Structure formats: structure tokens, C-alpha cells
A and B are shown apart, each in its own frame.
Chain A
Amino acid sequence: MTGPAAVPVEDLETLIACPQCDALYHAHAPAKGETAKCLRCHTVLISPKNRAGMTIIMLSIAIMVLILGALWFPFLQISQSGFRNSASLVDAALAFSDGPLVVLSITVLALIVLIPLLRVMLLLYVLWPVVFDRPPADHARAAFRWSETLRPWSMAEIFALGCAVSLVKVANLARIDFGPAFWMFASVVVIIVIQDRFMCRWSVWNSIDPRHSR
């Protein structure tokens, strides 16, 4: 342990610590479009973007609509010697239907549909009041915490690559075509990547900080 704190308590608000390596910095918001990274481990600390809140809200709505739409259209279509079949996202998630594999069905459904959906809904709940100059929502902080916790468990992009692999894997067995839902899902993946680039966690936490806003 170290001795007494070298930094006076009232100055703590101006400090920021890297969540990955605990390096301590004096925080100041960089100009819009600039990025402040940890000098030691290069974790992005602050990266404010122009009109980030509005952009994230629009992209969230787009993601929600696309995922909900993708649920009902066929994902992949297969045909071989007169037999045809098509699978939707729900079919794929519910493929593990017998015995202990049901657990897996629920997990897959959660990873590729429920968690991505839940995340954008939480983001909308947090950012909507902020962008429209209202006081933060009642449980904004819990909601944003959850959306951050769920981030690694949102696996839409992995599922999309899985589709491509499946396609090649049964190419010698039958003919496979991408259905409309595949393209919807592929665009969800791209939008999620863009949305993440607009997300500055430091700015969001500042905007819903109870002592900042009221």
C-alpha cells in the first residue's frame, strides 16, 4: 500500500483511470472526432463524435427493425434433386430441439437475437432522454451498465460468418442460396460496427451522471 493520497480528493473529478491497466490521467475532453488512448495499453479512453447520440439512436432503431424483420424471412435456401427447404433465424436457433440440446437452442437464440435486441433497446432507453435534453431516465445507469456487460455476448457477426461457412460446407451435398434475411443480418453486422465507433463511453457516463445533470 502507498501512503496518503498524492492527489487531493476534490480534484478527483478531473482524473480518469484506464479500465484495463489502471494508468491514471488528467482527463479533458478532446475535440470532436479525436481519440484519447491509454499511453500504456492503447485502450480507447475518450472518443467524442459529432452528433454521436442522435447517430447511435438512429442506428439502434435500424438494428431493431432489421433483426425483427430478419426473424421471419428465410436465411438460407437449399435445394437438391427436387427437395427444397429454407431456414429462418428462428429455425436455426431452434435446431437443437431434442433432449439436453434444448439448452443450446435457448443459448443460440439469446446470442444471436435476444441479446443484440436487448442491447439496442437499453441504448435507446439511455440515450433518448439525453439527446432530447430531458433529465436521464430513472434507471439509465443500470441500463447502460447492462448494455456494456452484454457487449461480448452479442454474437451477430459470428453467426453471419457461420452462415458463409455452412454454405461451403454442404456445397457438395446440395445447392444453397442466401435468403433475404441473410442480407438483412449482414447489414445489422455492419451497422453494429459503425455504431460502436460512435460510442464514447466516457461521454455517455458523463451525460447520465446524477451530479452533472440535476
Chain B
Amino acid sequence: MATLAHIPTAREKGLVSCRRCTRVWPIAQSVCPRCDASLISRDKHSLSRVWAWWMAGVLFYIPANLYPMLTTKTLLYTSEATIVGGAVELIHHGSVGIALIILIASVLIPVAKFFSIAYLALSVRRGDPSTSHSRHLLYEMVEYVGRWSMIDVFVVAILSSLVQLSVAASITPGLASLSFALSVIFTMLSAQAFDSRMLWDRIDPDHTARDNVPQVESTP
């Protein structure tokens, strides 16, 4: 069994890998003949794209918290609720569980994502191999969890189309829903632009050029 420390990367072997179909080619190849994806050993511009989308995501997250997410009109009252305001209201009504889902999906996850992506983008400059593992795990979490922030936008869409009971009760979407959705989309694009292979690059590639390429191991 190959030890983790000794698996060479395609780049260290003078090859370029296709991130789409996992095939490997000589490093000069620029388009994958198997799947037509463009091949880049390490995307130098990847970080600037990450930061550009990241900034857009952060920027749109601010109005998403200032403007109302939805407006509720009933016979007795009209209330406009921001993301956090809506959650607080839910807690007052006793639905602590749902308030938590909303707070986690709309506040905790987006903010944690901003910090995580920034940390990952900054971390590749130092390239400390001992933390590659945990940083990659963080990256996978960001990739996996990010989409779920969209849930609040869907809730607003569902409620606004459903709660249209003439004078008795009606719910209309607020401007925050748009900027929140854009913030989620931009942050997803930021995470996708990140080239996670950079997390595993070592500073002294010569050292590893002689390592043997292991067999894939399969488990049931």
C-alpha cells in the first residue's frame, strides 16, 4: 500500500491531467483529446477569478441583510422581515428549529464560506504540505454546503406564491431575496474557480519526481 506522502502528482511527473475525464497527457497538450476540455496544469489566473467572484459575493451579501426578505400582510398588521429579523420572529413564535435552519443556511454558512474561501486562497502561497489534508476537507465542505444557502430564496418564492389569501394574509418578496440569491451564486462560482490541486503542491517538486505511481485500490 502506498503511503500518502509518496503519491506523486501528474504535474510532478511532467504531465497534465484533465480535471473533467481524469485522463493524463504530456504537459504541452492544451486540449484533452478525449473530452475536449482545456488542459491547464495549474491555473495561474484561478486565484484572481476566485477573488473577483468572492468580492461580488461579499458585496451582495450586505444589502441582502439590510433589505427585507419578505413582507407579510395580514388583517391586523404588516411586517417586513430581514433574514435575521425573520429568524428572531420565528423564535418568538416558538419555532426554534426552523429559525436555526434559516440562521445556519443564511448567516452561518455564507459567512463561514467567505472566510473559508479567503483562507484557502491565501493558504496556497505558503503551501504547507502538512495541512493539505485539512484544507482539502475544508474546500470540499465549502463546495458541498454552499448550494444549500439557496434554501432561503426558495422559501421566499414558495411563501410568496402560496400565501395569497386576499385580505386575510399575503406575503410578497423583498429586494433582499435578489441580492441574497446573487451572493450565493457568486460565492459558488468563486469556490468553483478555485483550483484545489494547488492545495497539494509541494515547494520542492524535484524531491518527488522519483516516487512510484501507485495502483488504484478498490474497495467493495
Contact = CB atoms under 8 A, between A and B. Distances in A.
Interface string A91-125: 11111100011011001100110000000000000
The dominant DSSP class at the B interface is: mixed
A152 to B, nearest CB: 6
Given A17-B10, A85-B162, A152-B147, A108 B154 contact: yes
Identify the 4 closest CB pairs spanning chains A and B, nearest first: A17-B17, A30-B218, A162-B154, A5-B14
Contacts of B165: 78, 80, 83-85, 174
A137 interface: no
Contact of A2 (B21, B169, B205): B205
Given A5-B13, A92-B161, A25 B98 contact: no
Nearest to B3: A39
Nearest to B146: A152
Interface in B160-183: 160-166, 168-169, 171, 173, 175, 177-178, 181
A16 B98 contact: no
Interface of B: 2, 4, 7-15, 17-27, 33-37, 72, 74, 90, 93, 95, 97-98, 101-102, 132-133, 136, 140, 143, 147-148, 150-151, 153-166, 168-169, 171, 173, 175, 177-178, 181, 185, 188, 192, 196-197, 199-200, 205-206, 209-210, 213-220
Contacts of B156: 95
B175 A100 contact: yes
Contacts of A21: 9, 132, 136, 196-197, 199-200
A102 to B, nearest CB: 10
Contacts of A148: 20
Interface in A118-147: 141-142, 144-145
Nearest to A86: B162
Nearest to B86: A169
